[in-house]
A and B are shown apart, each in its own frame.
Chain A
Amino acid sequence: MYGSNRKIVLGLGNTLNRDEGLGVHCLEPLRQRLRDPGEVEILDGGVLGMNLLPFVEASSHVLILDAIDARKPPGTVIELTREEIPLHSQIKMSDHQVTFQEVLQFASMRGKLPGYLHLIGAQPQDISVGYGMSPAIEAVVPVMIDRAVRVLEDWDLISPV
C-alpha cells in the first residue's frame, strides 16, 4: 500500500452532487474493462484534497478522471496533458477549499510531480444535491473509459485491450 513508482488511476469528485461524482463513477466500469490491470491501481480519491498528496508523490504515472469546468456544453469531454494542467495560473480555486490542483502544485513545488500525468474529464450538467448522474453525463462514461484505456496503453502499462 505504500510503494513508490506507483501507477494510479485516480477518480475524483463528490458522488453526492450528481455529475460532480463523474470521476468516481468511472472507476467500476474501468475496472471491468481492464481484465488484466497489471501494475495499475484504480483508486477512489473522492474529495480528499491534501490527503491525496502522498499518493501523487509516490507515483510515476497518474491518470486523473474528474468533472471539469471548461465553460463548454455539458458532456464535452476534455483531456489535458501534463503540460496543459493549470498549475501556476492565477488560481482562485483555493478560495473554496484545498483542491486537487493545489495538491499538484505542492507536488510540483517539492519536485515530486509524476513524470506521467494526464487528465480526462467532462463538463458536468447538474451538480445539485443528489446521488447518481444526469443521463447526458452517464452517456459520457464509455467515452471516458475508451480514452483512459488508450492513455494506459500509450504509457505501456497495459496490453492492448
Chain B
Amino acid sequence: MSKRIVVDPITRIEGHLRIEAELDTQNTITKSYSSGTMVRGIEIILKGRDPREAWAFAQRACGVCTTVHAFASIRSVEDALKIQIPKAANIIRNMMIAQQYVHDHVMHFYHLQALDFVDVVSALKADPKKTSDIQQSISNWPNSSPGYFAEIQGKVKAIVESGQLSLFTNGYWGHPAYKLPPEINLLAVAHYLEALDWQAHVTKIHVIFGGKNPHPNFVVGGVPLPINMENDQALNAERLAIISESITKINDFINMVYLPDVLAIAPFYKEYAGLGEGLGNFLTWGEFPEGDIHDLSKLYVPRALILNRDLKNITVPDPRDMEKMKEFVSHSWYKYSQGNDVGLFPWKGETVFNYTGPKPPYEYLNVEEKYSWLKAPRWNETPVEVGPLARVLVMYAKGNQQAAELVELVLNKLNAPVSAVFSTLGRIAARAIETKLFGDLLPKYYGDLIAEIKAGNTKTFNGDKWDPISWPEHAEGFGFMEAPRGALGHWIVIDSGKISNYQMVVPTTWNGSPRDNKNQPGAYEASLVGTQMAIPDQPLEILRTIHSFDPCLACAIHMIDAEGKSVAEVGTGFNVCLT
C-alpha cells in the first residue's frame, strides 16, 4: 500500500514549489511530482515593446536573477540584429557574469542549502577551541580563534533564547539525518553569518560596471559605462582599483571558507554521493565567450549535450533546431492552439493560461492531468538536467585541466569513484568547484581588460544598429546565459521594430518541469526516486536533493504583510514567476 506525502511549500528556495511523493512501505520514494504553483507571464508583457528595452522588464521578474535575464535578453536582441559588441565590453560582461555566479553560489550554499546539513541548535554544544583547531587545519582564514567562535556561539544562543530561530527557516533541528559534530556545525554557522558581510563587498563589480545600484544598467550593443581615465563619471583608475580589491575579497572567501567548508562537510554525508541523480542527461548553452559569441570554440564553458552519463560522445545542441528544442504543456496549465500534446519551438511558443487544477485548499494535485505552471522543455523529446553539475561534467569531459583537478580533489576527499558525481552531493560539490573556477577567471579577465585599455581599445558600445531604421523588417534571435542555476535561453522575434514573440526557457523550468507528452518525469521528479526517508513528515531528505538544484521560482509577489501572516494564498493567482 503506497502513501503519498506533500511538501508544500519547499522552504528555503526562491519562489513557490510543491512536491508530491509516493512512498512504499519502507518509506522509499517510488514516484514524485514537481509543481510550480505560481504562473509567469512576462512573455505577455513584452509583446509589442521595443526590443532594446526588453532587458529592463525581463530583469524585474525576479530579484535574484536580474542580471541573468538582462544578459540573456540583450544577447537575444544582438543575435537577432547581428550586433557585435566591442572587445572591452565583452570582457566587462564576462566579469559581471563571473561575479554573479560567485555571489549566487556562496549565498545559496550558506543561506539556502547548508541548513539541510548543518544543525544550528547543535552548534550550542560545540567546544569553541576544537572548532578553532578545525578552522586552522582547513585554511588560513583569519577568523579562527577560540574566542571568535565562542562569540558566535553566544550570538546563536541569544537567537535561540529570544525565539528568533525562525530566521534559520524551517530546519528540522535534532532530526536523526543530521550527522555533523557540533564543532563543524558551529564553524558553518559562523560562516553563514560572515557570508552576509561578504556579499556587501562582492557586488562592487556590478555597481561600478552597471553604473548604479540597485538595478544596474545594461545596454544592447555593449556596456553602458565608458572607459576614460580622465573622467570621474567613467571607468577610471580609481574604480579599477576598487574592482581589483573586490576580486581579492571574493576569492579569499572562496579559497579559505566556501571550498574548505564543502570539503569538511561532505565526508559526513557520503550516502548522498550515491543518490539523487535522476536523469543522467545534461545540457549546457555555454558561457564566457572569450571572443565572438557565435564562435563556440571560444566559450570557456562549452555548449554541450550529455546523454545517459556518456562523457565520451558529447554533442553540441543547436538552440535554433526547431525539431529538437521544444516545450510541452501536456501536464502544464497552458493551452496550445495546435493541441495538448504537441511541442512548440520557442520562436513559435505560446503563453495562454489554462488552469484546470483543483480549487485551493486541496489535498492532492491530479497528476494524471495538468499539475504545474511550469512547462516541460525537452531536447529531442528527452528530459535533461541543467546547472552546475552539467557544466562541471562538460568542462571535465572536454579537458579543462583545473576542473579535472578539482573533481579529483573532491573524489579523493570522499574516497569515491567518478560515478559518485552523478548525485545530490555531486551537484553540491559541482557548485563549489565552478565557483572556484569562475572566481579564478576574475583576475584573468581583469588583466585582459587592463591590457585592452593600455592598447587604447576603450570602446564599450557599438551603436551602429541602435536606430530601428537599420533593422530588418523581421528578425529572430537567441540569447543565452548559463545562469547560476543552469542553461537559460531567451528566444525573441522582432517584427517592424517591435517584439512580436518572446519566450524564456529558464533553468528551473528544465529541472523542475512536470511530466511531458510521453509521461517522462523532469529532473527533480526523477532525482527523488529511490530515496528513503527517516521520518516522512519531516522531509529533510527531499529538501537536500531539491535544494541541490537551487530552485528559483522567485516570484513577483513579495508584499509586506501587516499582520505577519501568509500573504493571501496565491496558488492559482496570476503572478509573474520566473527562473
- Please report A residues at the B interface, Cβ cutoff 8 Å: 1-2, 12-17, 20, 43-55, 57-58, 64, 66-71, 78, 80, 85-86, 88-102, 105-106, 109-110, 119, 121, 124, 127-131
Contact = CB atoms under 8 A, between A and B. Distances in A.
A123 to B, nearest CB: 9
A69 B566 CA distance: 10
Contacts of A93: 558, 561, 566-567
B565 interface: yes
Interface string B341-377: 0000000000000000000000000000000000000
A53 B199 contact: yes
Interface string B165-186: 0110110000000000000000
12 contacts: A13-B558, A16-B45, A16-B57, A20-B558, A51-B63, A53-B199, A86-B561, A96-B15, A97-B16, A101-B561, A127-B573, A129-B574
A50 B557 contact: no
Nearest to A130: B45
Contacts of B555: 96-97
A19 B57 CA distance: 16
Interface of B: 9, 11, 13-16, 39-42, 44-45, 57, 60-64, 66, 107, 111, 159, 163-164, 166-167, 169-170, 193, 196, 199-200, 203-204, 207, 213-215, 554-568, 570, 573-576
Contacts, number: 186
B57, B63, B565, B567: most-surrounded residue (chain A CB, <10 A): B63
A128 B557 contact: no
Nearest to A24: B60
A105 B167 contact: yes
Rank and list the top 7 A-B pairs by shortest CB-CB distance, nearest first: A89-B564, A129-B41, A86-B564, A14-B556, A47-B63, A54-B200, A70-B562
B75 to A, nearest CB: 21
Contacts of A2: 200, 204
Given A45-B214, A106-B167, A109-B167, A17 B557 contact: yes
A28 to B, nearest CB: 14
B557 A129 contact: no
B561 A69 contact: yes
B64 A131 contact: no
Nearest to A16: B576
Contact of A68 (B45, B559, B565): B559
B63 A101 contact: no
Given A43-B214, A105-B167, A109-B159, A66 B559 contact: yes
B16 A96 contact: yes
A10 to B, nearest CB: 9
B192 to A, nearest CB: 11
Main secondary structure of the interface of A (DSSP, over half): mixed
A58, A97, A102: most-surrounded residue (chain B CB, <10 A): A97
A106 B196 contact: yes
Contacts of A48: 63, 66, 214-215
Given A95-B566, A97-B15, A130-B45, 12 more contacts: A20-B559, A50-B107, A54-B199, A68-B559, A86-B563, A97-B13, A100-B558, A102-B167, A127-B557, A129-B42, A129-B45, A130-B44
B557 A14 contact: yes
A58 B213 CA distance: 14
Contacts of B204: 2
Given A94-B11, A129-B44, A46 B214 contact: yes
B66 A14 contact: no
A46 B215 contact: yes
A49 B558 contact: yes
A95 B9 contact: yes
Given A47-B558, A51-B63, A95-B566, A17 B203 contact: no
Contacts of A86: 561-564
A1 B566 contact: no
Given A51-B63, A86-B561, A131 B9 contact: no
Contact of B196 (A13, A16, A46, A110): A110
Contacts of B111: 50
Given A51-B203, A54-B203, A92 B562 contact: no
Contacts of A69: 559-563, 567-568
B264 to A, nearest CB: 25
A90 B564 contact: yes
Given A1-B207, A14-B557, A127-B573, A53 B167 contact: no
Nearest to B169: A94
A158 B575 CA distance: 37
A129 B345 CA distance: 23
A160 B60 CA distance: 34
A14 B576 contact: yes
B508 to A, nearest CB: 13
Contacts of B41: 16, 129
A140 to B, nearest CB: 15
B566 A52 contact: no
Given A44-B214, A51-B63, A90-B564, A95 B16 contact: yes
Contacts of B570: 96
Nearest to B42: A16
Contacts of B193: 110
A92 B11 CA distance: 10
Contacts of B214: 43-46, 48, 51-52, 55
A127 B203 contact: no
Contacts of A109: 159, 164, 167
B61 A78 contact: no
A127 B64 CA distance: 20
B151 to A, nearest CB: 13
Given A16-B576, A46-B60, A51-B63, A91 B564 contact: yes
Contacts of B574: 128-129
Contacts of B163: 88
Contact of B558 (A1, A12, A105): A12
A114 to B, nearest CB: 15
A13 B573 CA distance: 17
